[in-house]
Amino acid sequence: MQRGIRFALLGGLAAGAVLSCEQSITAPGACPEFCPIGEIQLIDTVLVGVLERDTSFSGYVEPGVATAMQVLGGGAAVESHGLIWFAPFADSAAIDSVTLGLVVRQDSFQLSLVILGRSPDVTGLEITVHRISPSVDREGDFATLAPFFEDSTIVAVVAIPDDVSEDTVTTIIRIDAFPEFEAGDRQIALGLSIRGGTPAFASLNTRESALGALLTRFVLVEAGGDSLERRDLRSPEFDGFVDTDLPSPLAGSLLIGGTPSSRTFVRVALPSFIMDSSNIVRAHLLLVPVEPVLGAPSDTFEVVAEALGADFGAKSPILSLPDSLLVAAEVGVGTTDTVVIDISRIVAFWQATPDQVRTLVLRFVDEAVSVAELRVGSTRFLGSEPMLRVTYVPPFGFGR
Amino acid sequence: MKRLTFLGLLIVLSPSVLGAQNSIFGIRGIGFPGRAGGVRSIALGGGSELFDRVSVLNPAMVASFGQVTVGAVSGTTFRKYTTAGTDASGLQETRFPLIFLGGGFGRSSFSYQVSVATFAEQSFDLETVDTVMVGGLPLAVEDRIIADGGVVDIRVAIGWRRSAKLAIGAAVHRLGGSSRFTATRTFDNQEFQPFQERDNLSFSGTSFSAGVLWLANTTLGLGFAARVNSSLTSELEDESSSKVAMPVSLAGGLWLGVTPRMRLMTTVRWRSWSRAQGDLVGTGTRAFDTWEVGSGLEISSGPGDGGKFPLRLGVRYAQLPFSPSDARPREWNFSVGTGAPFAGNRAVINVALERFQRDGAGARERGWYLAVGFTITPVQ
């Protein structure tokens, strides 16, 4: 019996020793005495001259295909007018999903606009709605379309409540506001402006956002001897905006944003002891505006840096990276503060793929949705050239 | 029988972590030196390291292998330590510090042993928190440095029984092994990407050892062993390398049969670790020559070397080779153990429990070491 107990004890100890293979050696370091040789260093430096062959190209996104439009007026340095061409109405309207009825009477129109943003500090903001001849060239510029924004063309005024920054606003327009509607091809084209003595803006969704403006015609239709009231809806077939010309940029400026949108390309040439041998834990692209950021007062926008898949000029393809790798920087109109764009994840991607071309393209996150334009110094603009601020860890080497 | 063979092979071929006890005193230098003996030797305070055939200290003991024998040792350490301002407890790790295969060359008086043992263990996982200044702003960081591995001692030994009283042996050692290092830094600010660097440090070196065992009679035995090591070469994955001189080792021991059932064993060992000092300049590490003295008493239930459930008691004093200061750390060990043959004496299991106390250079480490060893002789 005693022997059995001894065997059991021995076996238990043995089994316990073999089976207790759990390892738990994580402990607070008692540094420097009882820590490995060496320490993780962190070097933070601003590098000038590591960005090269920077250049800007324009014409990427036209306001006519942007996801929003900006209406800016009230004496602002730059003004813009919104344009909407609704799809033509017909002499009939839908009674139900399959049946059409002849329109025998038209009462009025209802215009719905989806507000995306507005001047935050302006009260009593109103959007003035103008009648535009549908046959006018939609590609016209601010000056050629200016006659359609006279007082005589006003068909409605849409008030934007002071507490509304993102919402849908509506207004009713009398049917006789469009005297040539019946005689023409039943198409409605509208212009939007902001008037008054205070510079102000409003941003609106466009058809490209899938939540653009809507024009509802209230009609009486006849079908089978009955007269029925119906609503006849039309979406825009074209919308966008035109703006006054911005001042000419200073020589040596790089352009980002504006209409049509501009993009800037920057080649990054980090020293090999940083790029190839160190771990970059943070990388910030520093852009110095060479003049106050242009645009609607109090407006903001986002600038993003993306990596190119290949670099062969203006039409270089942007590398498709997960959104999580992109960090945008918010910039306010009127500022001259240095714009800081986080490109840490892009640089980390470059470190992991040494053969990848190391060129950045800088653009607005939402291009051609406003008149805003960022003008920053190029490598030829001494004192305002773009810089790279990197924080990196040199090779640890584990004390060897 | 097949089960025993399978078990033995499983232990010998196990890819599990080979290493010895871990220690805060193993962070500096090449690590914490491994023990040369098996479980019986641990239970006897290292006193039998020159007289235990499982031990890799004295090649002469290889001569005692007749039939093919395999064995392995598993050891689990439970420890805690205190330094100025830092306390760590609940640390635990299990290692397999020794595996071996031994046997004789037919009917000749020559025997062999191939073994893999821990030469130095250097596994740690240290976390520190700090605040660094980046661009004039404070930034909280958390660092973690992990090492997992150590230097292993692969030995091929030949022993020769000159007579019933005299055996001599010699061995060639290959130092090898590797340590996987990972350094990470995380930031208390999502602007900063976490930093991580990994590397693998490979070790290489060559050693030679020789030993002699002389039994004057049934009550007195003497053993001597010497070992010369080349420098230990450490090579990172980028092929950058460094060398650290390894010590010469001299050991002498006494085996005393007090009664037929009681044996007293003592081993004294000196190692010239200070040879490494020149290669550790600039690392802030001091290297010292070390003395180790271990004695053990074994009381068995019957005559001979063990029998069933002998009582083994041991005490050991050892100086530790590496320190961050001029103070030489030291270690005291108090151990108890036993063992038993089974399966018709074809297998032996030994168990040892050791209490260790390490002090020096401002650190104090306490803990327990539980070791279990198997020795299997598949065919008799």
pLDDT tens profile A120-157: 888 889 999 999 999 899 888 999 999 999 999 999 99
A319 pLDDT higher than 90: no
Over residues A288-294, mean pLDDT? 94
| Distance, CA of B169 to CA of B73 (rounded, Å) | 23
Q: What is the pLDDT of residues A202-214, one digit of tens each?
A: 999 999 998 899 9
Burial of A320 (0-12, 13-18, 19+ CB in 10 A): exposed
Q: How big is the CA angle at A215 (ends A209 and A217), to the nearest 5 degrees?
A: 155
- pLDDT band at B225, cuts 50/70/90? very high
Decide if B74 and A18 are in contact by the 8 Å CB cutoff. yes
For residues B173 and B209, give the distance between their C-alpha atoms in angstroms, rounded to a whole number.
8
The minimal CB distance from A37 to the residues B194, B284, B325 is found for B284
Calpha distance B171→B57 (Å, rounded): 10
Residue A352 burial by CB count (10 A; 0-12/13-18/19+): exposed, middle or buried?
Answer: exposed
A10: phi then psi, degrees, rounded to nearest 5: -65, -45
Which residue of chain B has the CA closest to A281? B193
Q: Do A20 and B94 touch (CB under 8 A)?
A: yes
Examine the pLDDT at B299 and tell me if it is beyond 80.
yes
CA of B310 vs chain A CAs: smallest distance (Å): 11
Highest mean pLDDT among A19-23, A230-234, B20-24: A230-234
| Pick from B229, B220, B249, B219: nearest CA to B58 | B249
Contacts of B287 in chain A (CB under 8 A): none
User: Does B340 contact A10 at a Cβ distance shorter than 8 Å?
Assistant: yes
Out of B88, B183, B351, closest to residue A28 by CB? B88
Which amino acid is it at B237? E
Confidence class for position B250, pLDDT limits 50, 70, 90: very high
CB contact under 8 A, A344 and B193: yes
Instruction: Choose among B143, B196, B201: nearest Cβ to A398.
Output: B201
Report the chain A residue with the minimal C-alpha distance to residue B83. Answer: A30
With a cut of 50, say whether residue B69 has pLDDT above it: yes
Residue of B90, B126, B283 with shortest CB distance to A37: B283
Q: What is the percent of chain A where pLDDT is above 90?
A: 52
What is the model's pLDDT at position B21? Answer: 65
pLDDT cut 70: percent of chain A above it: 93
Closest Cβ–Cβ partner in B76, B143, B342 for A17: B76
pLDDT at B3 over 60: no
Chain A residues with CB under 8 Å of B121 CB are none
CATH numeric code, B2-376 = 2.40.160.60
Residue B44 has pLDDT above 70, yes or no: yes
Tell me, what DSSP letter sits at residue A15?
H
Are B128 and A31 a contacting pair at CB < 8 A? yes
Q: Do A25 and B16 touch (CB under 8 A)?
A: no
The mean pLDDT value for A304-321 works out to 87
The answer to whether residue B41 scores a pLDDT higher than 80 is yes
- Measured between beta carbons, the chain B residues lying within 8 angstroms of A16 are 370
Identity of the highest mean pLDDT range in A86-100, B5-19, B51-65: B51-65
Distance CA(A156)–CA(B358), nearest Å, equals 90
Task: List Cβ<8 Å contacts ≥24 apart for A309-315.
Answer: A309/A357, A310/A357, A311/A265, A311/A267, A311/A357, A311/A359, A313/A57, A314/A57, A314/A263, A314/A265
Q: A26 or B325: whose pLDDT is higher?
A: B325
How far, in Å, CA of A162 to CA of A126, rounded?
10
* Tens-place pLDDT, residues A50-73: 888 899 999 999 999 999 999 999
CB distance A304 to A294 below 8 Å:
no
**Is it the case that residue B85 has pLDDT exceeding 90?**
no
In chain A, what residues touch B191 (CB-CB under 8 Å)?
282, 342, 344
Count of C-beta atoms within a 10 Å radius of residue B302: 10
- pLDDT tops 50 at residue A108: yes
Copy the structure tokens of residue A118: 């507005």
Which of A1-5, A327-331, B225-229 reaches the highest mean pLDDT? Answer: B225-229
Which pLDDT score, from 0 to 100, does residue A314 have? 87
Whole-number pLDDT of residue B5: 44
Coil/strand/helix, residue A324: helix
- CA angle, residues B84, B87, B92, in degrees to nearest 5: 135
Residue bearing tokens 């006789």: A176
**Helix (H, G, I), strand (E, B), or coil: what is residue A239?**
strand
With a pLDDT cut of 90, the percent of chain B lying above it is 67
Instruction: Decide if B197 and A344 are in contact by the 8 Å CB cutoff.
Output: no
pLDDT(B106) > 90? no
| Mean pLDDT, range A233-257, rounded to an integer | 92
DSSP annotation of B302 reads: S
User: Among A269, A213, A212, which Cα is nearest to A52's?
Assistant: A269
pLDDT value of residue A19: 55
Tell me the count of A-B CB pairs closer than 8 A. Answer: 168
B4-19 residue pLDDT tens: 443 444 343 343 345 5
> Which value does ipTM take for this structure?
0.81
Which residues contact residue B208 at a Cβ distance below 8 angstroms, ignoring those fewer than 6 apart? B170, B171, B172, B173, B227, B228
Nearest CA distance, B20 vs chain A (angstrom):
13
Residue A227 has pLDDT above 90, yes or no: no
**CATH number at A43-62+245-399:** 2.60.40
Show me where the domains of chain B are located. 2-376
User: Phi and psi for B62 in degrees, rounded to 5?
Assistant: -65, -25
The average pLDDT across B322-336 equals 95
**pLDDT-derived band at B337, boundaries 50, 70, 90:** very high
What's the rounded Cα separation, in Å, for the pair B96 and B116?
10
| B87 interaction partners in chain A (CB closer than 8 Å) | 28
List the structure tokens of B255: 């085996």
CA distance B305 to A367: 88
Choice among A231-240, A259-268, B274-283 with the minimum mean pLDDT: B274-283
Residues of chain A contacting residue B351, judged by C-beta atoms under 8 Å apart: 10, 13-14, 17
The helix/strand/coil state of B379 is coil
A1-10, B106-115, B247-256, B297-306: segment of lowest average pLDDT: A1-10
Instruction: Say how far apart CA A126 and CA B41 lie, in whole Å.
Output: 94
What rounded mean pLDDT belongs to chain A? Answer: 88
CB A248 within 8 A of CB A124: no
Could you identify the residue written with the tokens 């000056």? A143
Instruction: Extract the runs of DSSP E, i.e. beta strands, from A29-166.
Output: 43-48, 51-58, 68-73, 80-86, 92-94, 100-118, 126-132, 154-159
How many Å apart are CA B363 and CA B81, to the nearest integer?
7
CB within 8 Å: A32 and B362: no
In the predicted model, is pLDDT for residue B321 greater than 50?
yes
Residue B280, phi-psi category: left (phi > 0), alpha (psi -120 to 50), beta (remainder): alpha
DSSP structure string for B231-265: PEEEE-TTS-EEEEPPPPEEEEEEEEEEETTEEEE
pLDDT of residue B354: 97
CA distance B118 to B32: 10
Identify which of A82, A107, A238 has the alpha carbon closest to the alpha carbon of residue A172. A107
B86/A28 Cβ within 8 A: yes
Contacts of B199 in chain A (CB under 8 A): 397-398
Which of A130, A121, A128 has its CA nearest to residue A169? A128
Residue that wins the pLDDT comparison between A11 and A118: A118
B146-182: per-residue pLDDT in tens? Answer: 999 999 999 999 999 999 899 999 999 999 999 998 9
Mean pLDDT for the stretch of residues B82-108: 90
Q: What is the DSSP string of B157-219?
A: EEEEE-SSSEEEEEEEEEEE-EEEEEEEEEESSTTSPPEEEEEEEEEEEEEEEEEEEEE-SSS
- At residue B12, the pLDDT reads 39
Residue A287 has pLDDT above 80, yes or no: yes
Question: In chain A, what are the domain boundaries?
Answer: 43-62+245-399, 80-243
The pair of structure tokens assigned to A29 is 């370091």
Identify all chain A residues contacting B192, using CB atoms and an 8 Å cutoff: 281-282, 344, 391
User: Do residues B95 and B121 lie in contact, with contact meaning Cβ atoms separated by under 8 Å?
Assistant: yes
> From residue B275, how far is each of A242, B280, B289 by CA, in Å?
83, 10, 8
